[in-house]
Structure 1
Amino acid sequence: MIRRLAIKEEMKKAADAAEDASNSRPFEIAARSGFAVSGILHVLIGVIAAQLAFGSGGEADVSGAVAQLASQPFGPLLLWVCFAACAALALWQLTNAIFGHRRQKHPKVSKRLSEAGQAVVFAGLALTIASFAVGKAKNSRESTSDGTATLMQAPFGVALLIAVGAAIMITGIVFAVRGFTRSFKKDLVLSPSEPARKFQVGVGTVGYVAKGIALLLVGLLVVIATVTARPEQSTGLDGSLKALKEQPYGPYLLAAVAIGLIAYGLFLMVKAKTMRT
């Protein structure tokens, strides 16, 4: 009994230490910079998508955006800085999901799940950036198709892929709803200046809706590729945007989504500075 209490006390001390570390100002600044990095990447994706809409080539996804960063002066150094920022944000979100609500009587499970999900997303982003930094980057479109093909051959793989595609589509709908309802405002410290406040809300509204549409398209392609047993059609964000261009009025629709992705990138940069903690 005494040993059990001692172990419990040690675990509590470890949890307190982890929570204190996550609340430290230097770590918070490093983590917030991860939102800024994600914002820059979304702006680059939007720019590439706009170029696609008007006839240029490019890869309109995270890999294409990171490749753009890598091509800049001091590219490798820039990539490692971006990697550190995204890794810090992933760790910050994970720490908040595990320890951040211990003092609340009835912490929301949805909040914890959201933070855990964001931790996974930013950890994946950090790994993508690191793969470019060490020169082992892969074409994300081909990787997505290959991963889909592999899962199709696995037991329950088809059901899993359909579930994943549906989950991505639902996430896209949630993003769009957040944009239309402007519920994201509760996550920000809104500026007392009316022009700045309008900018915060404006880029958030447009950005969330566009991000939602993009995710909806990605999930839809996953489901279609799985149901039709054509994994080559599961091509991630780049393939989804290029498929959008092939639709009636496609270039105009793609240009609109591109503008929205740029807006979402600007919103993330704003969030890095004004997010509530």
Structure 2
Amino acid sequence: MNTTAGQATESVRSGAQSLHENHVFRMFARVGYAVNGVIHILIGGIALSVAFGDGGDADQGGALAQVAEAPLGFALLWFLAGGLFALGLFQVLETVLVRGTDKDDWADRAKEGGKAIAYLAVGGSAATYALGGSPDSGDQAQSLSAQLLTSPGGVVLLVVLGLGVAAVGAYFVTKGIRQKFLDDLALTNGSRKKTATVLGVLGYVSKGVAIAIVGVLFVVAAVTSDTSEATGLDGALKTLAELPFGNVLLVVVAFGLAAYGVYCFIRARYPRS
């Protein structure tokens, strides 16, 4: 029975490897990186308008809403969704292809799996907009918080969720400061690498700060039992604007998110794998 299970595992891994190495599929996955870049540039622009007193949802939903309002927005949304789904599937394959059972291997699986979930979720949002819906990340976060708070041990679960999200934010900040994102690029020393380094540091740190704030707001919601405190990226950025010198900080983060978007284009053009 173990032999049969092992053969099935190797068969799945072999199929995943074949698709992972397919040139056309990898091209679509690279389009997904570029699509992710477009979304972050739009989010950065919305965040900048929020800093100067204008409205708008500074998150994926707000960015997708802008795309929907553009000429041929319906077709563009399906293009965005397709690219993100391809990238999400690519990350699923990366998860499947991780070998080994030690701590680092499981950490790699968790990292690649988390990326897959994130890309597939945003792709799903793009498809929802293309079908005429309008998902709200803030409402979804509050709904999830309310469900957790009313369940046994819900406060603890919500705190754990918040700490987990904050840890993801810390990961982005650390990756930016240590310039580990350069490991994802096939760039040698030169002007392109210097440009990618500047964009990557600013982008990863800014995105990490925004994600960490989302995690903190989940913890606050758990401690205060106020689900209105739990919100998505839009709420996190608007919370940042309410701090002393918050508008200045928000402008910096807005440019950082846009910088991350441009970095994603470089990631699409010069992938290491």
Q: TM-score when scaled to structure 2?
A: 0.94
After superposition, the Cα gap between the structure-2 partners of 1:10 and 1:247, relative to the gap in structure 1 and judged at 3 Å, is closer
How far is 1:43 from its partner? 0.6
Report Cα offsets for 1:130-160 as digits up to 9, x if no partner.
1111112222222221221122111222111
Q: Distance in 2 between matches of 1:89 and 1:195?
A: 27
* Equivalence for 1:65: 63
Bigger radius of gyration: 1
Amino acid at match of 1:93: Q
SS in 1 for 2:55: coil
How far is 1:164 from its partner? 0.8
4+ residue runs of structure 1 moved beyond 3 angstroms?
A: 4-11, 104-107
Q: Is 1:138 paired with 2:151? A: no
Amino acid at match of 1:214: A
How far is 1:163 from its partner? 0.5
Equivalent residue for 2:196, pick from 196, 200, 207: 200
**2:173–2:208: 8 Å Cα contact kept in structure 1?**
yes
Q: Is 1:36 paired with 2:34? A: yes
Report Cα offsets for 1:81-113 as digits up to 9, x if no partner.
111111111111111211x244x7977322222
Query: What do you get for the CA RMSD once the two structures are aligned?
Result: 1.8
Task: Tell me how many residue pairs correspond in the alignment.
Answer: 272
* Equivalence for 1:91: 89
Q: Is 1:171 paired with 2:147? A: no
Q: Is 1:214 paired with 2:214? A: no
* Equivalence for 2:227: 231
How far is 1:8 from its partner? 4.6
Q: Is 1:16 paired with 2:10? A: no
After superposition, the Cα gap between the structure-2 partners of 1:15 and 1:230, relative to the gap in structure 1 and judged at 3 Å, is same
Equivalent residue for 1:53, pick from 51, 54, 65: 51
**2:98–2:108: 8 Å Cα contact kept in structure 1?**
no
**1:190–1:200: 8 Å Cα contact kept in structure 2?**
no
SS in 2 for 1:143: helix
How far is 1:183 from its partner? 1.6
Structure 1: gaps (5+ residues): none
**2:34–2:265: 8 Å Cα contact kept in structure 1?**
yes
How far is 1:62 from its partner? 0.6
Equivalent residue for 2:268, pick from 252, 266, 272: 272
Identity among equivalent positions (%) equals 36
Equivalent residue for 2:125, pick from 125, 128, 138: 128
Q: Distance in 2 between matches of 1:242 and 1:230?
A: 18
Q: Distance in 2 between matches of 1:54 and 1:12?
A: 55
Q: Distance in 2 between matches of 1:139 and 1:14?
A: 36
Q: Distance in 2 between matches of 1:9 and 1:180?
A: 43
Q: Is 1:244 paired with 2:228? A: no
After superposition, the Cα gap between the structure-2 partners of 1:25 and 1:247, relative to the gap in structure 1 and judged at 3 Å, is same
* Equivalence for 1:254: 250
**1:90–1:122: 8 Å Cα contact kept in structure 2?**
yes
How far is 1:209 from its partner? 0.6
Amino acid at match of 2:217: L
